[in-house]
Amino acid sequence: MNIITEKEDILNLLHQVGAGELSPEQAVSQLRTMPFTDLGYAKIDYHRSLRQGVGEVIYGSGKTPEHIKGILKDMSNNGSRNVLVTRISQETADYIAGSNIPMIYHSIPRLAIALPGEDRPKLGSIVIAAAGTSDMAVCEEAALTAETLGNQVTRLYDVGVAGLQRILSKLDILNSARCVVVVAGMEGALASVVGGLVSCPIIAVPTSIGYGANFAGLSALLTMLNSCAAGVGVVNIDNGFGAGILASRINKMEGIN
């Protein structure tokens, strides 16, 4: 295992700042590119939070339980906490937990929070609206991602357009949000409806839920991309994680009412 950019390099940067040879801004610029750990099968980026505001997240699909365990052990040794591990099975979660790696597993979105630390204060207001209960896995992936990053999240489930009065009864909650994540399958019309009701940014998440002509989420994706409501942005099919990250960034921006 090789640590790319040793501690001495960072200390040298700090000494240069102290001597006036580098400005603090120049030092931060250099720190953005380092360091990472090379495990052979994975390169763990420990300065991602410095560059992006969010630490390394493990996408579990396609990785073996042994790989995920190895990554988490290294992250634990480097002081990482509240690490998101997405798209893993209960069996994988049990295997990792049995390796003395603390983990909280959520079965509906197949998402785990490994190496749990202190809860962050929950800031702002993100609302996540699901067209149907069948969309809950994607909703929970978005909600748990946002909550782990320190955002206040309100869930509105089963408020799709087949019963329009359900979403209309929640206007007070929607209007209190700094960002709304709308998750819908079938034809994906809920995003346009919500987009016509609120002034904050809308993140639309198409899901693969639906019958044959839904084309595994393609019909919902195209509906959302063609939304007649202004201020609606769209992430990829079933990408609750991406929506949660984007919602967190919007929610924490200064100057959003």
Domain range summary for the chain, segments of one domain joined by +: 36-118, 123-251
- Assess whether the previous peptide bond of 121 is cis (omega < 30° from 0): no
Average pLDDT, the chain: 89
- pLDDT, tens digit, 9 for 90 and up, residues 28-50: 776 665 677 778 888 777 767 76
Determine the Cα–Cα distance for residues 155 and 181; give it in Å rounded to an integer.
10
The domains spanning 36-118 and 123-251 adopt the same CATH topology: no
For domain 123-251, which CATH number applies: 3.30.70.980, 3.40.50.300, 3.40.50.1970, 3.90.1150.170? 3.40.50.1970
pLDDT at 1: 41
- pLDDT, tens digit, 9 for 90 and up, residues 47-83: 677 677 777 889 999 999 999 999 999 888 877 889 9
pLDDT at 9: 64
Which CATH number is associated with domain 36-118? 3.30.1370
Q: Which of 217, 152, 160 is nearest to 190 (CA)?
A: 160
Burial 80-89 (b: 16+ CB within 10 A, else e): bebbbbbbbe
pLDDT at 37: 75
Q: β-strands 111-114, 83-86: how paired?
A: antiparallel
Q: Report residue 254: phi and psi, to 5°.
A: -75, 145
